[in-house]
Structure 1
Amino acid sequence: MNDIQPIDIIILSNAPGEVTTWVRPVVRALRAKLGNDRSLVRISAMLSPCPNASGKEVQILTSYPEIDRAQGAEHFTKFLIWGKTAENWDWRERGIVIFLGGDQFPPVVIGKRLGYQTVVYAEWTARWHNLIDRFAVMNAAVTTKVKPKYLDRFTVVGDLMVETQTSLNPKLVDRNSEAITIGLLPGSKSAKLGMGLPLMLAIAEHIQAANPLVKFAIPVAPTIDLQTLASYADPSKNPIIALVNGATATLEFDAPIPYLQTATGLKVELHTEFPAYDWLSQCTLCLTTIGANTAELGGLGVPMIVLIALQQMDAMRAWDGLPGILVNLPLVGSPIAKIVNTIAYWKMGNYKFAWPNIWAGREIVPELVGNLDAKTVAEFTLDYLEHPEKLAAMRSDLRQVRGEAGAADKLAAIVADLIYSQR
């Protein structure tokens, strides 16, 4: 890289899922490809507004050693309109804008203003074919509506969601262990935690009552602290607990690993390492909500049961796009959420939400939808524990559908090609 002029790389992203499952492997691949000399290659990350954001995405971005600087979503509009960052960042003469989540038009604006080339990662749809320099797409289906004269801008790189598996240390995987550990992934945002955490704790109580040898743990998202997580198991702070017949719990620190303890004595360890791939890979099974976590578990080949609780139709506010904006509006958000969630519930019979099921085009991991009852879900889960051949079949299916790793490396190669072509 020392035979080129210094260059700036701008990463555009938005939601916590994209920040953890797309940005992380891409910046790692960029550094592996382009080197760590910051005087030659500087990587900046910018967030655009997202209704599902937790507010801690900048903290996650700055924890990645490959990234040199990061800016929050609250400053994005000002930068998009006026070209000014909150900290008055300087920009090098040459650069590349990489889109990894959000709306695909901002990279056009930013690229034109700074005179930088643009690369868009397109998962399902690619837009602005005439204005974007290169597209890295998930599969060939994304190119079906592209005019022939623009096809040379498109490269199929694969699914960034499956890059999870490349972060796993295989030496730590022990599939033959007799220990049974169930991971609980209730989400990281209030819309999911309100129902998800107390419901999963209640499910865990029923499972442990039937099989005291089963252990439970939660990989705590970096966007939430332990006290906030525990508040969703506190009936004085979370009225939804009663709605889902959930379990309450207190946060305890009298052990090497903090844990939540319920009234029955159930202890759920709280793992704060990030990403928790090495630990998750040890799980016999995970109970999870929908989201990027299903892709991460799928990438690791960890069996899962996906829970979509609908006890309170206006409680689910984690939708993407326009529905996500509408259901979070003040005053009118709750009635709109009821309408949106009711319509979604009607359609759920023919639609899959877990990423492995989307990849496969069929249900390979069970999705339980509706007014979920903790005892019923526990019995469903125990059936898998009592029939390990079902878990083995699910694990095998996950390995087959997660695809080959390498999307991040291929995207980094596109960026390198653009850089060297500018010499």
Structure 2
Amino acid sequence: MLDEILLLTNGPGELSTWVPPVLTRLRQRVPGARIELFLIRDQFAAGTEQTKAEALQLDALSGRSALFRRLLERKTGRRGLVLLLGGAPRDAVLLGRATGYPAFSYTFDARAHHPGLRAVLVDSERTRAAMQARGVNPARIEVVGNLVVDALHEAPAVAAPAADVLLLAGSRPFAARYLLGFLLAAAEQMAKARPDLRFAWVRSRLLPEAVVAEALEGGLAKELGGVGARWVGDRLQTAGGLEVLVLDEPQRYAAMRRAQLAITIPGTNTLELALAGLPSLVLLPLHKPEMLPLEGLWHWLLSGPGLRSLKQRFVWRLAARLPHLALPNLWLNERVFPELRGVFSPAEVASAGLELLEPQRARDVRARLKRLDAQPGADKLVEYVLARC
């Protein structure tokens, strides 16, 4: 029987979709184990993940400083395991070496491997093949399934008012400040052509009230053609008079199953939308490219004073080289969800959204999404790691 389980995660997507189904099963299978989550926030984090993680059934919730202290402690002789659910594999390996526990990781990314891991657990044969192509020992790769499927299936049944078009401005403050007003302006344009449409903003619980207030003022969004809005009861009313429902985050899965279209940005949410079968328009606005976080060392190298124009050029070149933005597009290697990247207007977003609402186009997208064929993974993942400790 294990004495301790140490989990590590980083961003809002992993915290919402990967951690809960795994944690639930670990509690069921190893009820006496102490479970600690190290929340190692990086440049992609919203900054408010701590509050969300506090609602989980954990014995301890820690950050980077506590992780460093644990790395310096002596081994206790207890039995345990380390499991990375988002973040840098080296953190799991270092923690495993410090504690003497075997270290595992779960990933969608074929690049996310470290030779110090006991095994890397992946979502699909596609990821396994890509990882093997990068030289990883096949014996150290195990296909367990897709944890986002578990999250979708196990989400509490929370009722949501009906909406035709969902607006997802993300959970990161830097994006929401600009994007919410931009999406509201696109919704106004769509409503002019289709007055019958009902719109809803899916509000992330990771967004602080101050950020929401700033976003609704519309000051930053107006630079991109966006609009402000005000609260009218529990709804928003845009500057142009459009009423927009506001859905709490737990309502998002119910809303996805009833909606006709989502307008969103890249991230785990594109996979949630795909698995829910909802046609979606994915946006990467590059009006302010210097605001975007970058992966790895590039983020820190290009964040110094006087490097704004250099980062802008770097982001533009990087965006041009990316074949796809949305996870389902990457996995299927085709543009199932239409994508807009670069500098574009709310009117262009509205036009692309209205096109995706056309019945034949929507049917085609839904049919192509079925090829994802993702399977649940939490049961197999937990069974695998417990059997090897």
Aligned residue type for 2:363: A
Gaps of 5+ in 1: 85-89
Structure 2 counterpart SS, 1:352? coil
CA distance in 2, matches of 1:75, 1:398: 42
| Residue aligning to 2:11 | 15
Aligned residue type for 2:145: G
Identity of counterpart residues, as a percentage? 27
CA distance in 2, matches of 1:287, 1:11: 32
Structure 1 counterpart SS, 2:258? coil
* Residues 15 and 170 of structure 1: CA distance in aligned 2, closer, same or farther (over 3 Å): closer
| Residue aligning to 1:321 | 296
| Residue aligning to 1:368 | 340
Report if the CA contact (8 A) 1:164-1:299 is conserved: no
Report if the CA contact (8 A) 1:49-1:74 is conserved: no
| Residue aligning to 2:382 | 412
Report if the CA contact (8 A) 1:187-1:288 is conserved: yes
CA distance in 1, matches of 2:380, 2:251: 22
CA distance in 2, matches of 1:172, 1:250: 24
| Residue aligning to 1:106 | 91
Report if the CA contact (8 A) 1:294-1:356 is conserved: yes
Structure 2 counterpart SS, 1:375? helix
How big is the shift at 1:117?
Answer: 1.6
Gaps of 5+ in 2: none
* Residues 361 and 111 of structure 1: CA distance in aligned 2, closer, same or farther (over 3 Å): same
User: Which shifted more, 288-297 or 368-377?
Assistant: 368-377
| Residue aligning to 1:245 | 225
Note if 1:50 corresponds to 2:4.
no
Aligned residue type for 1:13: T
| Residue aligning to 1:152 | 139
Aligned residue type for 2:237: Q
Note if 1:284 corresponds to 2:275.
no
Structure 1 counterpart SS, 2:290? coil
Aligned residue type for 1:143: Q
* Residues 204 and 126 of structure 1: CA distance in aligned 2, closer, same or farther (over 3 Å): closer
Report if the CA contact (8 A) 1:22-1:100 is conserved: yes
CA distance in 2, matches of 1:164, 1:322: 31
CA distance in 2, matches of 1:145, 1:383: 39
C-alpha RMSD over aligned residues? 2.7
Aligned residue type for 1:29: R
Residue from 305, 311, 327 that aligns with 2:281: 305
CA distance in 2, matches of 1:24, 1:45: 11
User: What is the count of residue pairs matched by the alignment?
Assistant: 384
CA distance in 2, matches of 1:104, 1:112: 13
- 5 Å matches for 1:339-378? 339-348=313-322, 351-378=323-350
| Residue aligning to 2:371 | 400
Residue from 117, 120, 126 that aligns with 1:135: 120
* Residues 68 and 242 of structure 1: CA distance in aligned 2, closer, same or farther (over 3 Å): same
Residue from 125, 137, 140 that aligns with 2:111: 125
Q: Deviations over 1:269-300 (max 9, x none)?
A: 22224362122222111000111111111121
How big is the shift at 1:366?
Answer: 0.2
| Residue aligning to 1:87 | none
How big is the shift at 1:145?
Answer: 4.3
CA distance in 1, matches of 2:95, 2:320: 40
Report if the CA contact (8 A) 1:166-1:405 is conserved: no
Aligned residue type for 1:249: A
Report if the CA contact (8 A) 1:164-1:300 is conserved: no
